[in-house]
Amino acid sequence: MEIMSFPESYINFKKMKKRAEQILELAKKYQDYTAKNLSKQVQIKSLSMGEKDVCAEVKRQMEEAGFDEVRFDGLGNVIGRIGNGKKILAIDGHIDTVDVGNLDNWNFEPLSGEIKDGFVHGRGTVDQKGGIASFITTGRILKELGFDKDLTIYFVASVMEEDCDGLCWKYIIEEEKIIPDFVISTEPTNLNVYRGHRGRMEIKVEFRGVSSHGSAPERGKNAIYMASRAALEIEKLNERLAYDEFLGRGSITISEIVSGSPSLCAVADFARFHLDRRLTWGETKELAITEIEEIVRDINAKVTVLHYEEEAWTGLKYGMEKYYPTWKLEETDKAVVMGVDAYKFLFDKRPIVDKWTFSTNGVTINGMYKIPTIGFGPGNEVMAHAPNEKVPVKDLMIASAFYAMYAYQI
């Protein structure tokens, strides 16, 4: 009698389903552990360039979880490693946060890290220490399961993202020479799989006028009037920017305006504004600059893309131009498909595949270096930079399971 064999694809499917059950069981087992690790991180204030203490705590947590190696790089990023295979997966989360803002808008202590009613409360729980706490648990899960695939996984708690998106990964790729095959960003996605977002750039426009006594303004050239006329044209520009079916429309807004004059009784001879430009698919740095130069072509004005260069907590000064390229992957890209499959193995349903509204480290990882990148993170991005920030403990558990399942598919 002929013995019929199951197709290899079916055998692999059953094997992966079994692995998903083991991962989910451990993620639930360590759910409180994940929440407590996050609480400890939240209690340590960590603005950009001031992450030293929280980086030390994250390093301790990675070591406690049994990572094969944990170290700081020159910029201060915490890099944990599991495995030593040919292919490389990196899981990234930035450890710095914005400040707490007006305390009157908070219903609880912003740095309490309180675990209550199924949430971890405090600044950074969503944006985005929650992702870091989750992937530390992922490391513990993988070590407990005896992860032995031909894969190196780097778990990166990155610095200075809030000040300069992607600077940390520019350093990792160019200076540390770590070039992953795939990257997961743990920025908040509400547990959806994200595959891109608009780019952005920061532009400075300076106007030079001529001062005169305020009693005779006709003798001078008022730089504020120059800036004001340009500002009205920029408002119109925003209405006609390009549109992409997935990423949406590009946008531009003036986020700051300053001026100067010899005195308050004189015509202003200087004005400057800062532009926040969001770039949809097909819009480039050159295009965005040209659009502004056209508006001010008959005005004495200078248009400049800003440059960021600051000293990290390690003392290293490092920088880059404040141009953060647009990026997206197609839904059929292998990195996205693996993310969808990881979710389906764990939860027997397809996740929503979408995009971020804001910008992430993906601007360098994929936007500059074209490394396949997806997003999956605990918490809802509407809580990012907002008062009363909190993340569901269940989200942390799901994220820790997702990252482990993703690793088993590479």
Nearest to 180 by CA among 362, 29, 355: 362
Tokens of 36: 């407590």
Catalytic pick among 51, 73, 92, 161? 161
Q: Which residues contact 4 (CB under 8 A, 6 or more apart)?
A: none
Residue 173 parent element (H or E): helix 167-174
Task: Return d(Cα 373, Cα 266) in angstroms, integer.
Answer: 54
* 3-state secondary structure at position 24: helix
Tokens of 159: 């610095």
What one-character-per-residue DSSP string does 274-320 give?
Answer: EEEEEE-TT--HHHHHHHHHHHTTTSSEEEEE-EEEEE-TTS-EEEE
What one-character-per-residue DSSP string does 348-384 give?
Answer: SSPPPEE--SS--THHHHTTTT---EEE--SS-GGGT
Find out whether 108 and 371 touch, Cβ atoms under 8 Å: no
Q: Does the active-site annotation cover 161?
A: yes
Task: Return d(Cα 12, Cα 54) in angstroms, integer.
Answer: 41
Catalytic pick among 51, 57, 92, 96? 96
Q: Does the active-site annotation cover 96?
A: yes
Nearest to 158 by CA among 87, 64, 54, 84: 54
Burial (Cβ within 10 Å: 0-12, 13-18, ≥19) of residue 215: exposed
Residue 227 parent element (H or E): helix 223-238
Which amino acids are annotated catalytic? 96, 161
